[in-house]
Amino acid sequence: MKKSSTDPAPRVLVVDDEPDLRNLYELSLVREGYQILSAGSLAEARALLAEQSFDVLITDMNLPDGQGLELLRDIARGQRRERSIVITAYGSAENAVESLKSGAFDYLTKPVDLKQFRAVVRAAIFAPQQAGGGAPKHHAAAAAPQPEATTDTLPPPCDAGDGQPDEVGQAALARIVGESPAMQTVKQRIVKVARSMAPVLVRGESGTGKELVALAIHACSHRADGPFVPVNCGAIPENLLEAEFFGARKGSYTGAVQDRDGFFQAAHGGTLFLDEIGELPLSMQAKLLRAIQERRVRPLGATQEEDVDVRIVSATHRDLAAGVRSGRFRQDLYYRLNVIEITVPPLRERREDIPALVHTLLARIARDTGSEALHISGSQMRELSSAQLPGNVRELENLLYRAVALGEAGDSNFGVVPEDELSTAPPPDVAATPVMPAMPPHGAAYAPPPPVSGFAPAAPTSGFTPITSGFAELPTDLDEWLKDREREVLLQALQSTGFNRTAAAAKLGMNLRQIRYRMSRLGIVPPGGEQGEE
């Protein structure tokens, strides 16, 4: 939204108890053509807000008679249209998180960079109109009566003026199929968090549609006209991460034949979606944290940093809090990303949505394959509605694609395992078992065939001991389980040698290069961060 020449100059209220800083902010904004009023305390600011309205409120976090966050809560309770920018102490992540949760449009850290300061104020003023958070169309002579406070102070969404998301936002929400209470909660949460700059962490099992949620957050926000850049953090080779995220200059590495932008530059003015954020190695986590905090990146091979204006939405199927406890994920990055959390429920928790999902997926398959309208039988629908479907929507889509490809849609069962049945079937009748048994239905557990009459079972090979007892509980993520075991073995060997890597490598039958690589991959750092003896 751009203001025309006939619109009144944007009005900004600056609240800070230090006169020198107030003057600095005022001078910086007056040059932009804004009308500026200032206050030195919470009481003065409340008096000004009671008499008139503003486009933007800029407040310091700590004021002589209270917290600047109290002004944000006043605005939320009164359903006022001011957008708020909070200035916090340098490095105070807790204050930044609290301000965003209280409805701040954005926040800045001291010492304030004036160029960034003007850019944030400009974004707050000229972003599209939004109920409960956009710039006011008219300045009232006095504030309207304030209704009672609500329990959720998160700001309302980008909208078309009637409190509802605009056409782009509605279309993005419609792609998230499901009207169950769980999905209604997810959609309401999307609409509420879309407006602010607060980072969002989307959690959910694989195949639940986390990217659709991220895209809906972008589409419902004032950044909808900007780019949406999805990044699969687990699919990028570790040695290319920095260049892919921050860009690179010509000649910065072998094969860099020209300057190229990274993901941050590509998402400038829009949303950067970091999928599978838990897959990033620790070394890259530190660099990502700095880029998010400073809103600047330095391309590989460059000497100067570049300003970037992106909103971060991340997603994971892992438990990042557990990753923090185990040392696999940085605590400061976790708190920076997890300002607002949206959890996408698995299909087993919203089975009433399966029929609508089936119809939507069949329509998509028909469109992709050029087929006529596709349908499944009532028995097939009942089978899918009671199936385990651990792969969630992705597995459901794959089942439907397979049924269509094999001509099974509408006239046969899918062979999925119902939720209320055990995965292990009773052993088959030996006499009726063929020499080459048929493969089990899709999703069913596989059991080795019984011995054929007349043949003795093969003796175990030398050195092999048959498994007679299993784990108390099978790991739900085998890769992570194996990494944890490998980390334990390496740490034991390193600790037994005083972190002498050469000696530890010899104990484990490796060379120095191999143990260095494994330590880097598993995030093992010697005590104090020193490299240790070779």
CATH of the domain at 521: 1.10.10.60
Q: Residue 10's closest CA among 127, 102, 110, 143?
A: 127
Strand intervals (E) in 317-464: 340-343
Q: What is residue 166's three-state secondary structure?
A: coil
Instruction: Report the chain's mean pLDDT, rounded to a whole number.
Output: 79
pLDDT at res. 232: 93
pLDDT at res. 528: 61
- Tell me whether residue 336 is in a domain: yes
pLDDT at res. 299: 93
Percent of the chain scoring above 70 in pLDDT: 77
Residues 182 and 232 in one domain: yes
30-52: buried (b, 16+ CB within 10 Å) or exposed (e) per residue? Answer: eeeebebebbbebebbbebbeee
- Tell me whether residue 457 is in a domain: no
What mean pLDDT is predicted for residues 300-310? 90
pLDDT at res. 440: 42
What mean pLDDT is predicted for residues 487-515? 85
pLDDT at res. 471: 62
CATH number of the domain residue 357 falls in: 1.10.8.60
Flag whether pLDDT at 426 surpasses 60.
no
Task: Give the model confidence (pLDDT) of 170-224 as tens digits.
Answer: 999 999 999 999 999 999 999 988 877 788 999 999 999 999 999 999 999 888 9
Structural domains in the chain (count): 4
Alpha helices, DSSP H, located in 154-250 = 167-174, 181-193, 210-219, 241-246
How far is Cα 440 from Cα 402, in angstroms, rounded to an integer?
16
Residues 282 and 398 in one domain: no
Flag whether pLDDT at 466 surpasses 60.
no
pLDDT at res. 533: 55
How far is Cα 35 from Cα 29, in angstroms, rounded to an integer?
8
Last residue of a domain, one of 314, 345, 376: 345
* C-beta atoms surrounding 180 within 10 Å: 16
pLDDT at res. 42: 93
Residues 77 and 186 in one domain: no
Please list the residues that pair with 63 across neighbouring strands. Answer: 66
pLDDT at res. 140: 31
Last residue of a domain, one of 325, 345, 365: 345
CA distance readout (Å), 379 to 375, 394, 397, 408: 12, 21, 18, 12
* β-pair type (106-109, 83-88): parallel
Residues 309 and 352 in one domain: no
CA distance readout (Å), 146 to 52, 76, 80, 383, 427: 14, 10, 9, 53, 70
Question: Residue 413 — pLDDT band, cuts 50, 70, 90?
Answer: low
Q: Phi, psi (5° rounding) for residue 502?
A: -65, -45
Question: Residue 60 — pLDDT band, cuts 50, 70, 90?
Answer: very high
* Residue-number span of the structural domain to which 514 is assigned: 478-529
Flag whether pLDDT at 368 surpasses 80.
yes
Question: Residue 432 — pLDDT band, cuts 50, 70, 90?
Answer: very low
- Amino acid in the structure at residue 64: P
pLDDT at res. 194: 87
Question: Residue 160 — pLDDT band, cuts 50, 70, 90?
Answer: very low
Q: Kindly report the pTM of this predicted structure.
A: 0.61
Highest mean pLDDT among 105-114, 159-168, 292-301: 292-301
**For the packed helices 114-126 and 19-30, what is the interaxial angle rounded to 10 degrees?**
60
pLDDT at res. 414: 62
Q: What is residue 164's three-state secondary structure?
A: coil
Residues 172 and 190 in one domain: yes
Q: What is residue 207's three-state secondary structure?
A: coil
pLDDT at res. 417: 55
Flag whether pLDDT at 229 surpasses 90.
yes
| CB burial of residue 337 (10 Å; 0-12, 13-18, 19+) | buried
Residues 79 and 218 in one domain: no
Flag whether pLDDT at 423 surpasses 60.
no
Flag whether pLDDT at 447 surpasses 60.
no
| CB burial of residue 1 (10 Å; 0-12, 13-18, 19+) | exposed
pLDDT at res. 92: 60
Task: Give the model confidence (pLDDT) of 73-128 as tens digits.
Answer: 999 888 888 999 998 875 566 676 777 777 888 888 788 888 888 888 988 887 65
- Tell me whether residue 118 is in a domain: yes
Q: Phi, psi (5° rounding) for residue 449?
A: -70, 150
How far is Cα 9 from Cα 29, in angstroms, rounded to an integer?
12
Flag whether pLDDT at 408 surpasses 70.
no
Residues 262 and 301 in one domain: yes
pLDDT at res. 474: 76
Lowest mean pLDDT among 8-12, 148-152, 235-239: 148-152
Residues 488 and 521 in one domain: yes
Indicate if the alpha-carbon torsion angle 308, 321, 93, 76 is positive or negative: positive
Residues 340 and 353 in one domain: no
Flag whether pLDDT at 429 surpasses 50.
no
* β-pair type (66-67, 62-63): antiparallel
Question: Residue 31 — pLDDT band, cuts 50, 70, 90?
Answer: confident
pLDDT at res. 105: 85
CATH number of the domain residue 197 falls in: 3.40.50.300
CB 177 within 8 A of CB 353: yes
